[in-house]
């Protein structure tokens, strides 16, 4: 075996406007290695896979594949013929073709590396992936686990030297996860090298030889799964550093103003929701009392955003019920829930790019009388004075922090009784994040209930009375926020069995 790495990445960067999705990243992957890449939301993991697979072009840097030279900028089909294949999180088979026909499509790309007859290669792939008994079944009729198997089988059709796995375990239950891990291990035993992006930490701990940890597009550290899990800087990046010491942490006050007077609250019972055919949350029970601040925590892919979208009506549950203010709203559309007092500040801000700050704000009070809109706007300006100063500016020309203030302000224009905040400090500096949470504290003091979803657990817990921890779509812990220990958080985020050492 050659000492030259199978894959070499040097100084790789990818910019999207002023945002650096990858920043001067360098690493080697040896032939036969199982290399995992982890990191918090927005760390650059999926961008890396797209670049290596030829689905995007780097802004700078080099990607070299042994025996193929520099491959950055080559098209995806050329990379496939060079021995790189990608299996995606959400399977996209040719639904009307059979399982065998789906796999056959990719066989020509691997002929140079495996000259056996196509029929023999097809039989081997179907047997390896456990799909031989479904060879003649239309792909669109497969259950989730077998769709995942087919996605991997299609990637294997090109006889890759390097298989890229992008969260292939997402949405699987425990027994299906066992089967997925066994399949990946079996593929590696055939001599295929693996580059794994995964949020399910059990996959990382059971399969990876080495782990790269990305943060803000750059390499934070690397080591064995056990080493990176024990790394204090990795834990800080995942869990945040905004919560004061527990003994100094003041308990959030109980709200008894406008929201409490309205009665009721939010109740979810046995809620299961799917996204793109994948189960994202399962049998979730959750309660928020009027005026209460509740944190929902968990690793990427745990189901946090799905939960908020189920509450606001953007996603409909497959089963279970959601009630608000004592009324069942499970089947009510989003606009009806908004009218009933639920506002949703989504991840990514979702501003109207061509409109001014004032115009974006006023859309949050759509349907209200003009005088009422002006009064609400004045209330938001009290919380975020910068929005008054920038009222005539095009919204998307402001800084990231100011845009986030506008997104929250627009949600507040409906005078909600429940404000859903999904990653409202993502990508912001600690100073700006503190300003955002200070503003949310003012909102809570007025009696608005808060559902806080954050990657930064520490800051989020400091603002909440109670907390829920999601792990792979299920509630793994619930209770008072100040009783949530670090061991539980580390286990949920990094798959560790023990907490932070003293």
Q: Is the pLDDT of residue 500 over 50?
A: no
**Would you state the CATH architecture of domain 245-341+418-423+457-502?**
3-Layer(aba) Sandwich (3.40)
pLDDT of residue 252 exceeding 70, the answer is no
Q: Is the confidence at residue 76, as pLDDT, over 70?
A: yes
How confident is the model at residue 307, as a pLDDT?
96
**Phi, psi of 217, deg, nearest 5:** 80, -5
Compare 239 and 315 and report the one with higher pLDDT.
315
392 Rama class: left (phi>0) / alpha (psi -120 to 50) / beta: alpha
Distance CA 148, CA 139 (A): 11
pLDDT of residue 175: 82
Is the four-CA dihedral 238, 241, 246, 250 of positive or negative sign? negative
Mean pLDDT calculated for residue range 148-175: 90
* Better-predicted residue by pLDDT, 232 or 25: 25
Burial class (CB in 10 A: 0-12, 13-18, 19+), 47: buried
- Summarize the confidence of residues 299-319 as an average pLDDT: 92
Q: Is the pLDDT of residue 313 over 70?
A: yes
Position 487 scores a pLDDT of: 84
Q: Check residue 1 and give its pLDDT.
A: 52
Query: Is the predicted pLDDT of residue 256 greater than 80, yes or no?
Result: no
For the chain, the structural domain boundaries read 7-230, 245-341+418-423+457-502
* Tokens 């097809």 belong to residue: 122
Q: Give the pLDDT score at 134.
A: 95
Quote the tokens at residue 322: 């959601």
Top pLDDT among 467 and 490 is at 467
Contacts of residue 381, Cβ cutoff 8 Å, sequence gap at least 6: 387, 388
DSSP helix/strand/coil, 501: coil
**Of 316 and 349, which is predicted with more confidence?**
316
Query: Between β-strands 449-453 and 84-87, what pairing exists: parallel, antiparallel or unpaired?
Result: unpaired
DSSP string covering 247-305: GGPPPPPPP-SHHHHH---EEEEEEEEEETTEEEEEEEEEEE-TT-EEEEE-STTSSHH
State the average pLDDT for the chain. 88
pLDDT value, residue 496 = 57
pLDDT of residue 282: 94
Res 232 pLDDT > 80: yes
| Reduced 3-state DSSP string for 122-182 | HHHHHHHHCCHHHCCCEHHHCCHHHHHHHHHHHHHCCCCCEEEEECCCCCCCHHHHHHHHH
Spatial contact of 388 and 418, defined as CB atoms under 8 Å apart: no
First-to-final CA distance of the chain: 44
Residues 12-57: tens digit of each pLDDT: 999 887 678 899 999 999 999 999 999 877 788 989 999 999 999 9
pLDDT reading at 276 higher than 90: no
* Equal fold, 7-230 vs 245-341+418-423+457-502: yes
Q: What was the pLDDT predicted at 302?
A: 87
pLDDT tens digit sequence for 105-125: 999 998 889 899 999 999 999
Q: Domain 7-230 has what CATH class? A: alpha beta
pLDDT in the model for residue 259: 38
pLDDT at 262 over 90: no
Lowest-confidence segment of 20-24, 381-385, 400-404 by average pLDDT? 400-404
């Amino acid at each position: 075996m050659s000492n030259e790495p199978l894959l070499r990445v040097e100084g790789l960067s990818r910019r999207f406007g002023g945002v650096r999705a990858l920043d001067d990243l360098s690493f080697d992957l040896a032939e036969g290695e199982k290399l995992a890449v982890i990191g918090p939301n927005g760390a650059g993991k999926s961008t890396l896979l797209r670049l290596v697979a030829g689905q995007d072009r780097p802004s700078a840097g080099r990607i070299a594949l042994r025996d193929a030279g520099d491959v950055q900028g080559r098209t995806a089909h050329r990379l496939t013929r060079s021995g790189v294949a990608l299996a995606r999180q959400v399977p996209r088979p040719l639904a009307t073709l059979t399982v065998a026909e789906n796999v056959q499509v990719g066989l020509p790309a691997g002929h140079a590396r495996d000259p056996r007859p196509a029929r023999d290669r097809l039989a081997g792939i179907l047997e390896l992936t456990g799909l031989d008994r479904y060879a003649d079944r239309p792909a669109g009729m497969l259950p989730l686990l077998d769709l995942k198997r087919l996605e991997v089988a299609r990637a294997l059709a090109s006889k890759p030297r390097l298989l890229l796995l992008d969260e292939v375990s997402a949405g699987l239950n425990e027994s299906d996860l066992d089967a997925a891990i066994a399949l990946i291990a079996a593929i590696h035993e055939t001599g295929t090298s693996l580059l794994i992006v995964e949020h399910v930490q059990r996959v990382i701990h059971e399969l990876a030889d080495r782990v790269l940890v990305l943060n803000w597009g750059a390499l934070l550290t690397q080591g064995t799964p056990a080493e990176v899990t024990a790394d204090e800087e990795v834990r800080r990046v995942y869990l945040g550093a905004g919560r004061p010491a527990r003994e100094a942490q003041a308990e959030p006050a109980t709200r008894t103003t406008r929201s409490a007077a309205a009665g009721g609250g939010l109740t979810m019972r046995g809620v299961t929701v799917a996204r793109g055919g994948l189960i994202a949350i399962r049998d979730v029970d959750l309660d928020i009392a009027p005026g209460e601040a509740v944190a929902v925590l968990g690793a990427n892919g745990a189901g946090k955003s799905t939960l908020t979208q189920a509450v606001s009506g953007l996603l409909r549950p497959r089963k279970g019920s959601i009630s608000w203010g004592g009324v069942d709203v499970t089947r009510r559309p989003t606009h009806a829930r908004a009218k009933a007092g639920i506002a949703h500040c989504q991840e990514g801000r979702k501003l109207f790019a061509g409109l001014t700050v004032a115009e974006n704000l006023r859309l949050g009070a759509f349907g209200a009388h003009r005088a009422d809109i002006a009064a609400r706007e004045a209330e938001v300006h009290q919380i975020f004075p910068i929005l008054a100063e920038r009222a005539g500016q095009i919204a998307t020309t402001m800084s990231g922090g100011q845009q986030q203030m506008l997104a929250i302000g627009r949600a507040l224009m409906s005078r909600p009784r429940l404000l859903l905040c999904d990653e409202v400090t993502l990508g912001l500096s600690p100073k700006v994040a503190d300003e955002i949470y200070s503003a949310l504290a003012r909102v809570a003091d007025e009696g608005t209930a808060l559902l806080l979803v954050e990657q930064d657990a520490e800051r989020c817990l400091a603002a909440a009375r109670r907390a829920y921890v999601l792990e792979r779509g299920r509630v793994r812990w619930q209770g008072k926020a100040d009783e949530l220990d670090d061991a539980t958080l580390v286990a949920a985020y990094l798959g560790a069995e023990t907490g932070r050492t003293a």
